[in-house]
Amino acid sequence: MPGQTSILRLRFLRESSRQNPPTVSTPGSAGLDLRADLDTPDLIIAPGERAAVPTGIAIEIAAPGVAGFVYSRSGLGAKHGLTVAQGVGVIDPDYRGEIVVWLLNTSKEPKTITRHERIAQLVLAPVVTPVITPVDELGETDRGCGGFGHTGKV
How much is the average pLDDT of 125-130?
Answer: 94
Residue 154 pLDDT: 52
pTM, entire model: 0.86
What is the mean predicted confidence (pLDDT) over 110-128? 96
Mean pLDDT along residues 137-146: 86
Distance, in Å, from the CA atom of 80 to the CA atom of 83, rounded to the nearest integer, reads 9
Residue-range domain boundaries for the chain: 31-126
55 to each of 5, 24, 58, 112, 153, how far by Cα in Å?
A: 25, 15, 8, 16, 43
Compute the average pLDDT of residues 103-131: 96
The topology under which CATH files domain 31-126 is: Deoxyuridine 5'-Triphosphate Nucleotidohydrolase; Chain A (2.70.40)
Mean pLDDT of the chain: 91
pLDDT band at 1 (very low <50, low <70, confident <90, very high): very low
- pLDDT > 70: percent of the chain: 95
Residue 53: which residues within 8 A CB-CB, separation 6 or more?
36, 38, 43, 100, 101, 102, 103, 113, 119
Residue 3 has pLDDT above 60, yes or no: no
- How far is residue 41 from each of residues 66, 112, 113, 142, measured CA to CA in Å? 34, 10, 9, 57
pLDDT of residue 145: 82
Residue 25 per-residue DSSP state: S
Q: What is the mean pLDDT of residues 23-39?
A: 93
pLDDT tens for 52-109 read: 999 999 999 999 999 999 999 988 999 999 999 999 999 999 999 999 999 999 999 9
Q: What is the DSSP letter of 16?
A: H
